[in-house]
Amino acid sequence: MSDRDEQAPASEPRDDAELDRMLGRVRADVPADEDALDRGRATVLAAAAELERADGTVVAGPGTLIRVVPADPEAEPETAGRPRRRRAASLAAVAAAVVVAVALAVAQLPSTEEPGIDTAAAEVLERVAETTSRTGDVPIEPGQYRYTEMLTWRPGTGRTQNGQDVEYRSEVLTRTWVPSDERQEWLQRDNFTGKREIVSGGEEALEIALATEREMDGREVRGRCGDYPDGRTTQPCERYGQVDWSNPTLAWMSSLPTEPAELAERLREDSLSSFADRDYQRLTDATLLLRTGRLPAAQRAALYRVLASVPGLQTAEPQTAPNGRAGIVLSVPAPGAKRCEIIIDPETGEYVGDRVVDLAGGEAGTPGGAVAFHAVRFGVADRIGVEPGG
């Protein structure tokens, strides 16, 4: 071993690997940015070459990563055979300067650290999944109908005679009859409950809301495969756009994986959202299927297990949905200082509903401070247009 190796400062970088280790210690929670490491490595090596050409000291300069300046002429000169400590120290200073510069850049990267998985929430969902697997699908005979009730707010807008825009929300109960053979005729019926909230416009908004409710109350639409007539086609059982989480068919839902890991990967692939909204998007995509009441038990159990692994999901106080059904509550943060909650019946594994709560104080007139909600009930009817047991 040479005298130089014996007396070189411990911080002196000897090769690219050591440089990378030095640079990689900055923001270890963030994956290394290869471009930043490459730039830092190149800067150190370029500075080292400069030092070989002109013995100088290295300092950080305004607007530059590093700057080489002439050495102090009065400084102790190097003598033959003596270790070149000045250069070693200078090279270490270069590395330190680069580390600082990269630190400033990397520190601005968003952290990829995810919140932990809530053990209580995971245990609840595992129990619900086991119950769902045990009870299985509700049997339905040929000629019967899967019946769904969904209570929700329906937003409405209008304009007064003097040109003022108004906004309101009306509570509506939507009943849907889906035949055991989904290629046959479906029926959907809307009825307003008489509950409403005026968002803006005062009395004039109320008049518009009442007029709209009178006109639309009791509206029915029918169509094979749930393709209700809307003027876009005369061909039954055509699907518009992509069949997906928001537009599912029974065949599509039945084709989803029943292994939680595979279903989780599918959900991640289909959730096109930013990192900040990813957990919220996973939950909302899941609710789109759970609300239908037609998701097969095997996929439903797998979906509950997938939700158990969503970082940020937490248990909350049990709630009673606006339709009177109670259940356990699980929630994740939602964009805009809100929280998304789902309610599940722990005894049956049935989905009860979901809501979005405004954490900034809620809005008057909405159930439980919710700004949006869906409360569902499922059953089997013997005839189209007639409720179960009727």
Q: What are 138-173's pLDDT values in tens digits?
A: 999 999 999 999 999 999 999 988 889 999 999 999
Round to whole Å and give the CA distance between 229 and 236.
Answer: 9
What pLDDT sits at residue 16?
53
Task: Name the least confident of 85-99, 211-225, 257-271, 372-386.
Answer: 85-99
Distance (Å, whole) CA 343 – CA 326:
8
Query: Ramachandran region of residue 225, left (φ > 0), alpha (ψ -120 to 50) or beta?
Result: left
The pLDDT, as a whole number, for residue 234 is 64
Lowest-confidence region among 110-119, 174-183, 227-236, 328-337: 110-119
Which tokens sit at 177?
């009859």
| Highest mean predicted confidence (pLDDT) among 63-77, 234-248, 299-313 | 299-313
Start-to-end CA distance of the chain, whole Å, equals 95
Instruction: Give pLDDT tens digits for 65-77.
Output: 434 444 444 444 4
| Long-range pairs of 12-17 with CB within 8 A, sequence gap ≥ 24 | 12/88, 12/91, 12/92, 12/95, 13/44, 13/91, 13/92, 13/95, 16/41
Write down the mean pLDDT value for the chain: 76
34-43, 122-131, 139-148, 206-215 — which is least confidently predicted? 34-43
Q: Please report the pLDDT score of residue 208 as a whole number.
A: 93
Q: Which long-range contacts (CB under 8 A, 24 or more apart) does 121-125 make?
A: 121/308, 121/313, 121/314, 121/315, 121/330, 122/308, 122/309, 124/315, 124/328, 124/330, 124/346, 125/304, 125/305, 125/307, 125/308, 125/330
Which of 178-192, 238-252, 281-295 has the lowest average pLDDT?
Answer: 238-252
| Whole-prediction pTM | 0.67
pLDDT surpassing 90 at residue 125: yes
Question: Bigger pLDDT: 239 or 99?
Answer: 239
Task: Kindly tell me if the per-residue pLDDT of 328 is higher than 60.
Answer: yes
What proportion of the chain, given as a percentage, has pLDDT over 90? 43
Taking the C-alpha atoms of residue 308 and residue 129, their distance in angstroms, rounded to an integer, is: 10
Angle subtended at Cα 372 by Cα 370 and Cα 378, rounded to the nearest 5 degrees: 110
The amino acid that residue 95 corresponds to is A
- The sign one gets for the Cα dihedral 68, 73, 75, 79 is positive
| pLDDT, tens only, 178-230 | 999 999 999 999 999 999 999 899 999 999 999 999 999 999 999 888 888 76
H runs (alpha helix) in the chain:
3-7, 16-24, 34-53, 85-106, 119-135, 202-216, 250-254, 260-270, 278-290, 297-308
- Residue type at 386? V
| Residue 359 confidence class, pLDDT cut points 50, 70, 90 | confident
Residue type at 58 in one-letter notation? V
In whole angstroms, what is the distance from residue 337 CA to residue 361 CA?
10
Is residue 234 within 8 Å of 222, Cβ to Cβ? no
3-state secondary structure of 201: coil
Check: CB of residue 373 under 8 Å from CB of residue 380: no
> pLDDT exceeding 70 applies to what percent of the chain?
64
pLDDT at residue 29 tops 50: no
**Confidence band for 59, pLDDT divided at 50, 70 and 90:** very low
Whether the per-residue pLDDT at 58 is higher than 50: the answer is no
Q: Identify which of 323, 367, 365, 368 has the alpha carbon closest to the alpha carbon of residue 197.
A: 365
pLDDT confidence bin for 131, thresholds 50/70/90? very high
Range of lowest pLDDT (61-70, 94-103, 266-275, 350-359):
61-70
Adjacent-strand bridge partners of 375: 151, 353
What pLDDT is recorded for position 261? Answer: 95
Strand partners, 219: none
Res. 97 pLDDT band, cuts 50 70 90: very low
Cβ burial of 306 (10 Å; 0-12, 13-18, 19+) is buried
Tokens representing 170 are 């009306």
Distances (CA, A) of 227 to 152, 213, 235, 239: 22, 24, 9, 7
Judge whether 345 and 327 are in contact, CB under 8 Å: yes
The Cα 173–Cα 151 span in angstroms is 5
Cβ atoms of residues 189 and 173 within 8 Å: no
pLDDT tens, 44-56? 455 555 544 444 4
pLDDT at 103 over 70: no
Give the span between the Cα atoms of 348 and 323, in whole angstroms. 17
